[in-house]
Structure 1
Amino acid sequence: MSFVTVIGFDDLTYNFQNQGMGVITSWVIMLFLYVIPYSLMVGQLGSVFNHEGGGLTSWVRGTSGEFLGYFTAWTYWAASIPYVVDTANSIVVGLGWAWYGNGKLQNTMSNGWFAFWTVITFVVFIFVQSRFKHSLEFLSTIGGVAMFGMTVLFVIMTFAALGMGGHIATQPMNVHTIVPKFDLHYLTTLGLLIYAMNGAELIAPFITKMRKPKSEFPKAMIMLAVMTAFLTIFGSFSLGVFFDAYHLPNDLKMNGSYYAFQALGEQFHMGNTLMYIFAWTEVFYLAALLAVLLDAMTRMLISDTGAKYMPKVLRKRNKSGLPVNGYLLTCGLSAFIMLLGIFLPSMNDIFNWLLNLNGIISPGVTCWIFFAFIKIRMDSQKYPSEYVYIKNDKIALSVGWWCLIITAVATIFGIAPQDVATGSSTWWYELIINFVAIIVLIGLGAIMPYVTRREERSQTGSAFTRLQWTGILATLLVVIVGDLYLGGSKAANNIAMIAGLTVVGAVLIVIFGWHERDLITED
């Protein structure tokens, strides 16, 4: 179960484009110095808070209070927004390959249509998930196993091809080839490595259900490390067999998995058969995963944060018990993220930017895990558990701080745009929208308690009057129009425009009135 949540074939192609064959060394370093400690820390946290289900939110709430528990739930949910957008994008790309048998979709579909079909995908799968929840959870698990099977098949068939006289595309292939260049660019790619390998916290609730957690859980994590090592090391080497690591296609992150199975099929004279099998496996798996994610993440946010911090309007449920306004918020923010990227030069740039945004936000949220672990080891007598990772508290704390610091560094450096020329107008635009996306996704969580307090004090049952809602909509319209302008501007104009938008937003807030007395004014 843990393996399916931690790594997949697409994770290999993403990081292979970032680091080439040097990513093999990075995978080994990350496995021993990050993934194994991270997984074992999750084991102890899950054991300490087993009565609360072992979720990340309950870990932080149990160590640092209600507000940080709520904020953890919000940031964990916010981190899922770029992920579900990226998943929806991948479904559109996968359907293109499954239908056309090639990557012509990126050359024939405009950015606007790409965004449109992505948003339609959200709507369709929220509708489907509300009616077929449990069957799709089952199908997503089956799809994950099938994806793992395709990955293992790729590795085995690659070595079989080499045994039959196949040649390696990456030349020269030696020790120096697999050693990465440790520079500033390397630091900017760490976030995507961590993004590829996190997710072990999702299996925490099952730790206490093992027969002997104290002895069996470490063995399970060692098995996870062995499986991950096999996939990442040999999978990356296999990619180096079919792709010249020194001259990689620009669209490898978006289409690399399909190119790989297409090349493998040609090697065995099977045409596009393997590629079609992989494409439909990918679509099948991602579709079920998206439906589950859209529902599960929204429900987690709404149900795991009390009325003290979450506005009533978002906690509202329909007759079937579905948080309809929470769904609307999820779709709205997903559309907002797509809007930020729609003005990038191409469909491939949108895909890469969204993927790299995950490499910023996802590691940032992972910091909460190490924060909670440090808190329980600072007072280990207060937090007893059946399973303990490193009995010596000082050593355990040093490992916890190591993981927290490296994750924080990866998050900060990940903000720098990748896959585009440094200093170009596209680079500056991506840098700006990286900050905008982070501020909006995380900032909304910070202001929700304030909105809730306004709602409670209001005599109308609403946090804002109609006049104030008009101000909010006007501000959003200004931001959208400004974003359209930014998309085609030079770097200097981009920065000036952001400053201008900030001033305009502040003026609109004042004009439309945000005083407490507005709360008791009749609409």
Structure 2
Amino acid sequence: MNTLEQNASKKYTPWLILTLLDFVTIISFENIFYPFQNQGLSVVISWIFMLFAYVIPYELIVSQLGLTFDQQAGGLASWIRRGTGSDLFGYATSWMYWVQTIPYLVDVSNSVIVSFSWIILGDATLGKHMSTFTFGLLTFAIILAFILLENFFKDSLEILSLIGGGAMFIMSMLFVLMTFWAVTHGAHIATQPFNLEAFKPSFSLHYFSTTGLLIFAMSGAELAAPYISKMKNPKKEFPRSMWVLALMTGALTILGTLSLAVFFDANHIPQDFKMNGPYYAFKLLGEKLGMGSVLMYVFAVVQAFFMLAQLAILIDAASRVFAGDVNQKYMPSWLTKKNKNGRPIHSYTLTAGISLVLLLLSGTLPSINSIYNWLLNLNGIVSPYKTCLVFVAFLAVRYRQNEFSSDYVFIKNRKGALAVGFWCFIFTFVCATMGFIPQNSEFGTKQFDHELLMNFFFVFLIFGMGFILPLLRKLELKRGQAK
């Protein structure tokens, strides 16, 4: 078969599928709830600022880096490894990128349980029917089962991303449209006063400590990098995918937040708003429209598919980054071993193991709601720290830009590009560090101290574990030489 025939028969990933795949991991309807609880109506200004000053530059930076290293399997790890010329830095990035997905995997699995509880119970009484131990056990069972299922269904990732991402975006936009229809037909706006003063941000310690969750909600575009080589025309299609992704993200966050203000008083948010808020919202909307709980049940089903799609993408893409392009002197050979489907099977096993440890330790919290909130806040720390590395890679590439070529260049002026990259890095790093401050407990209480200690412990634990693998590799090489 000649090259032309091979290209004709090759299965390509359409740019819209890639957009939905990334959308699944970046933003969802529930991602607008915890910022609304943390910052009230002022979060609208935060979303607008983030979109233009951070998200669009970030995703166009990803476009340049992705097309600069479009033949590298390791995604962000490849960008750092090639950009800095350091194999050690590339390994550290791959570990950090992979391990920071673990709290999110657990959080997503928690959301799967919550969605099914609403389908079965029809209300927010999960905590009355299930202990924290059972909640943790079911969470682990979902992660383990999905790892096994993903290896049986080769095309599950694209199918689930199409169903989950498309359905969630439709439901989210449907909520926005129906809300505005309700307002124009006499519905009362719950948040009062609803004026320009209410949108003014309050630049307090709490405000800045919660901004890391906005970065967490809007970041993740680099997760699509390992799939660039599967596109038919990456030069045109990948930047287009990133632009559409930014617009979809902006539309959902800004319009979605305004819609929430119609049903919920931003000054008096329910305590379990982060966990059950989306279901409350669709239930209230259905009641306004005379549809009862129908919309809530539809959303619960869509949410279940959406969360399963997130599990598929996170487990697959993050593990590919981890085992795709790392110098072999840092990685034990058993960890990079792939099965017949080309999946790094043992990195899946390690994923399950660390998830179990995380679940056991989070069980020290008093309730399901506190576990859900704490894991969510933990993601607001580790995810932005990972995102910092995207900008490190960009700064390295633009500093040595004569050594690299790309079909797409974000800001042709070198000094301008470095300035934007440096701004994004500093902003992300500061927000991640501020995120260590507990957001759901009052300062001086035992709960505050407990969560603060857990934040430091888990961050140092999961990032610090990365030092062990190179030592295991050294032992493996010594034993090989001895034989």
With the length of structure 2 as denominator, give the TM-score of the two structures: 0.90
Q: 1:351 aligns with which of 372, 376, 388?
A: 372
Moved more, 77-86 or 216-225: 216-225
Counterpart amino acid of residue 321 in structure 2: M
Kept in 1: contact 2:24–2:164 (CA 8 A): no
Q: Residues of 2 paired with 1:180 and 1:363: CA distance?
A: 21
Q: Call closer, same or farther: CA 1:42–1:239 in 2, change over 3 Å.
A: same
The higher-RCO structure (CA 8 Å, 6+ apart) is: 2
Kept in 1: contact 2:59–2:243 (CA 8 A): no
Q: 1:273 aligns with which of 294, 305, 310?
A: 294
The aligned counterpart of 2:72 is 52
The aligned counterpart of 2:382 is 361
Q: Call closer, same or farther: CA 1:436–1:52 in 2, change over 3 Å.
A: same
Q: Residues of 2 paired with 1:315 and 1:212: CA distance?
A: 27
Q: 2:235 aligns with which of 196, 213, 216?
A: 213
Q: Call closer, same or farther: CA 1:217–1:164 in 2, change over 3 Å.
A: same
User: Does structure 1 residue 73 correspond to structure 2 residue 100?
Assistant: no
Alignment of 1:114-193 (within 5 A): 114-193=135-214
Kept in 1: contact 2:42–2:201 (CA 8 A): yes
Q: Residues of 2 paired with 1:133 and 1:212: CA distance?
A: 23
The aligned counterpart of 2:441 is 420
The aligned counterpart of 1:18 is 38
Alignment of 1:272-351 (within 5 A): 272-316=293-337, 323-351=344-372
Gapped regions of structure 1 (runs ≥ 5): 462-519
Kept in 2: contact 1:111–1:343 (CA 8 A): no
The aligned counterpart of 1:40 is 60
Q: Residues of 1 paired with 2:443 and 2:403: CA distance?
A: 49
**What is the CA distance between 1:102 and its match in structure 2?**
0.6
Counterpart amino acid of residue 7 in structure 1: I
Kept in 2: contact 1:125–1:291 (CA 8 A): yes
**What is the CA distance between 1:445 and its match in structure 2?**
1.0
Q: Residues of 1 paired with 2:258 and 2:366: CA distance?
A: 32
Q: Residues of 1 paired with 2:138 and 2:242: CA distance?
A: 39
Moved more, 103-112 or 134-143: 134-143
The aligned counterpart of 2:103 is 82
**What is the CA distance between 1:460 and its match in structure 2?**
11
The aligned counterpart of 2:3 is none
- Secondary structure (helix, strand or coil) at the match of 1:246 reads coil
Q: Call closer, same or farther: CA 1:119–1:51 in 2, change over 3 Å.
A: closer
The aligned counterpart of 2:5 is none
Counterpart amino acid of residue 475 in structure 2: R
Q: Residues of 2 paired with 1:212 and 1:138: CA distance?
A: 21
Q: C-alpha root-mean-square deviation of aligned residues, in Å?
A: 2.2
Kept in 2: contact 1:88–1:121 (CA 8 A): yes
**What is the CA distance between 1:106 and its match in structure 2?**
2.0
Counterpart amino acid of residue 22 in structure 1: S
Q: 1:8 aligns with which of 11, 28, 39?
A: 28
Kept in 2: contact 1:4–1:148 (CA 8 A): no
**What is the CA distance between 1:427 and its match in structure 2?**
1.1
Counterpart amino acid of residue 73 in structure 1: S
Kept in 2: contact 1:313–1:325 (CA 8 A): yes
Q: 2:129 aligns with which of 94, 98, 108?
A: 108
Q: Call closer, same or farther: CA 1:226–1:295 in 2, change over 3 Å.
A: closer
Q: Residues of 1 paired with 2:314 and 2:420: CA distance?
A: 31
Gapped regions of structure 2 (runs ≥ 5): 1-18
C-alpha distance after superposition, 1:138-159 (max 9, x if no partner): 1232211100000000000001
**What is the CA distance between 1:211 and its match in structure 2?**
5.0
Q: Residues of 1 paired with 2:148 and 2:247: CA distance?
A: 39
Kept in 2: contact 1:140–1:286 (CA 8 A): no
Q: 2:283 aligns with which of 238, 241, 262?
A: 262
Structure with max Cα Rg: 1
Q: Residues of 2 paired with 1:327 and 1:73: CA distance?
A: 14
Counterpart amino acid of residue 45 in structure 2: T
Moved more, 114-123 or 286-295: 286-295
- Secondary structure (helix, strand or coil) at the match of 1:93 reads helix
Kept in 2: contact 1:261–1:278 (CA 8 A): yes
Q: Residues of 1 paired with 2:450 and 2:435: CA distance?
A: 15
User: Does structure 1 residue 61 correspond to structure 2 residue 101?
Assistant: no
Q: Residues of 2 paired with 1:300 and 1:48: CA distance?
A: 16
Aligned identity (percent) is: 48
C-alpha distance after superposition, 1:124-176 (max 9, x if no partner): 11221121131343123221110000000000000111111100000110011
Q: Call closer, same or farther: CA 1:38–1:288 in 2, change over 3 Å.
A: closer
Q: Call closer, same or farther: CA 1:210–1:190 in 2, change over 3 Å.
A: farther
Q: Call closer, same or farther: CA 1:246–1:413 in 2, change over 3 Å.
A: same
Kept in 2: contact 1:261–1:275 (CA 8 A): yes
- Secondary structure (helix, strand or coil) at the match of 2:210 reads helix
Kept in 1: contact 2:221–2:242 (CA 8 A): no
Q: Residues of 2 paired with 1:163 and 1:42: CA distance?
A: 40
Q: Residues of 2 paired with 1:13 and 1:293: CA distance?
A: 22
**What is the CA distance between 1:401 and its match in structure 2?**
0.5
